Structure 1
């Protein structure tokens, strides 16, 4: 049974479960602020559930997800993924970044 680490919580999931729905079922949200109310409900068109997969393996993005990640404020090169489009297959460490769409990635400059 895969585990998901998200914002200090660790939850268990079934293989094949959807990441967004798994987080919501655990009373966690992949959305920031008002996006938790004004999102596409997992249809892959709003982009507000964008997260970074810090550890673990997920399938490559399908065309639907890539289409949304090509639209501002996202970029397909950002490394972000839409939680609503990710089936869970492995243990994951997931990070949500600031911004309405979770697009404000803050890098540590050394």
Structure 2
């Protein structure tokens, strides 16, 4: 079974192959920040520290929300990412209020 290591929160969890990264974090309290869970807001942005090759392909929503430059630097949206092998992820301790405002605007615009 693949292991997901949440470097920022200090948790490591064994998961089934093809597990969704955000759902894994929610289920096992990995602490990845999120607002919508559907690729609209971008708040579940994580950086893949190790194991890039053990992830699903980058989705269009990720390119739209993150931009190609961030993806090239190892960033992914946890809600759009599926795990096929061992990975390590981290995320910044950014201003949560700012992320929440961005998320709410994007969610409202999509409705």
**TM score, norm. by length of structure 1:** 0.73
Q: Which residue of 1 aligns with 2:74?
A: 79
Aligned residue pairs, count:
91
Rounded Cα–Cα distance in structure 1 between residues aligned with 2:66 and 2:85: 23
Moved over 4 A (4+): 74-78
What is the CA-CA distance between 1:76 and the residue it aligns to?
4.3
Whole-Å separation in 2 of the counterparts to 1:75 and 1:54 = 13
Q: For 1:52-94, what per-residue CA distance to the aligned partner results, in whole angstroms no more than 9, with x for missing partners? A: 1111122331112111113xxx944443110011011010111
Q: How many Å apart are 1:9 and its aligned residue?
A: 1.3
- Segments of structure 2 that go 5 or more residues without pairing to the other structure are 100-111
Q: Which runs of 5+ in 1 are unaligned?
A: 102-110
Normalised by the size of structure 2, how large is the TM-score? Answer: 0.72
Rate the CA distance shift 1:96–1:67 in 2: closer, same or farther, 3 A. same
Contact 2:49 2:74 in 1 (8 A): no
